Amino acid sequence: MDLATFLPLLFMAVMGLALLAYVVLDGYDLGVGLLLPLADDAEKDVMVSSIGPFWDANETWMVLGIGILLIAFPLAHGIVLSALYLPVAVMLIGIVLRGVSFDFRVKARAARKQMWNRLFSAGSLLAATAQGWMLGSYLTGFDHGLWPTLFSAFIALTLPTAYAVLGAGWLMMKTDGPLQAKAVGWARKLLLPMGGALAGISLASPLVSPTVFAKWFALPQLFALLPIPLACAAAFFAAWHVLSRPRVLAAGYGWVVFASTVLIFVLAFFGLAYSLYPYIVVDKLTVWQAASDTSALLFILVGVAITLPAIVVYTVFMYRVFWGKATELTYGPGS
């Protein structure tokens, strides 16, 4: 395999893994934001504290993924961002709302604090819903027909549910007492809707995309790919098993809910990657057609070789330092 063939695949893999890291890491803090209205005032402070050291760094992975799309696959960047201009704008508005509300809710007077809490939740909902619409539009090749539009709307409405389950799992690990008990209750109520939504998306995707249908329902690939949906089902029932047994939760196995949800996200990602390969824009542009010149990719590779390990090391260090149970978020005097 020569460089002209290998480098586009390498950059596609790095971009995909960066976006997967964003979905998992920023997914749980978006989920915490979605759950915020269900808690009382003191619990809201702990919930925000649980994501405080992480949420802005989690978004670094999105910047890396989109940056690689821009410089390594400029043709695809033009098509994708042009087709998704409005949902990208909505997502950015949601992210800005979250960022502003995160700081202002702590320093604002008590009369204004509830407003910033609501804006933080609204920003989380905007970002999650926009991401769902973007995913649905991407899977359908940016088709504007009735069924593709309904498919995109369905994902936009259901992706927040998956993020909320991820957020509840995170709170089960990072909190204790009444708030942890509430997180268990939220996860119990949301797990079945999340499972139904994911099953619906999995069944509908081959119907709205001939490319996906051809990849999954041809023989012998059908049998080779069965472990993916079976593993997803096993992860789902592992989470359900833990949530339905208080003694298991009391023994400290609440982390299984978070880990199972992450596993479902990871398996869905690899199933999606298989479904779309070798296209970077479904049925329109392959990885090699969209890629920059080989000499440009070699130059970009130097930057990625420096940036990617730095982000990984910082992320691991940050989670190691700030791991443990969350307490109420406060700012010191003079902050």
Q: What is the structure's pLDDT at 134?
A: 92
Kindly tell me if the per-residue pLDDT of 126 is higher than 90. yes
Q: Is the pLDDT of residue 13 over 90?
A: yes
Q: Let me know if residue 288 belongs to a domain.
A: yes
Confidence check: pLDDT of 332 > 60: no
Is residue 305 in a domain?
yes
- 182 lies in which domain range? 3-321
99 burial level (CB within 10 Å; 0-12, 13-18, 19+): middle
Would 293 be classed as within a structural domain?
yes
Give the number of domains in the chain.
1
Q: Could you give the C-alpha distances from 309 to 61, 266, 298, 314, 315, in angstroms and in order?
A: 12, 21, 17, 8, 10
CATH of the domain at 254: 1.20.1630
pTM score, whole prediction: 0.90
Q: Is residue 44 part of a domain?
A: yes
Distances in Å between the Cα of 269 and the Cα atoms of 137, 204, 319, 334 are 16, 16, 23, 45
In single-letter form, the type of residue at position 76 comes to: A
Alpha-carbon separation of residue 275 from 166, 201, 297, 326 (angstroms): 24, 14, 25, 39
Q: Shortest CA distance to 236 belongs to which of 222, 206, 256, 216?
A: 256
| Cβ neighbours around 97 below 10 Å, total | 22
Q: Is residue 329 part of a domain?
A: no
pLDDT band at 334 (very low <50, low <70, confident <90, very high): very low
Q: Read off the pLDDT of residues 282-305 as tens digits, 9 standing for 90 and up.
A: 888 899 999 999 999 999 999 999
Give the pLDDT band (50/70/90) at residue 227: confident
Residue 327, both tokens: 């307490």
Task: State pLDDT tens for residues 159-217.
Answer: 999 999 999 999 999 988 899 999 999 999 999 989 888 888 888 887 777 777 777 77
Give the per-residue pLDDT at 211: 77
- Report CA-CA distances (Å) from 43 to 64, 113, 250, 320: 33, 14, 20, 24
Tell whether 210 is covered by a domain: yes
Whether residue 114 lies inside any domain: the answer is yes
Q: What is the share, in percent, of the chain residues with pLDDT greater than 70?
A: 96
Task: Tell me whether residue 161 is in a domain.
Answer: yes
pLDDT confidence tier of residue 110, bands split at 50, 70 and 90: low
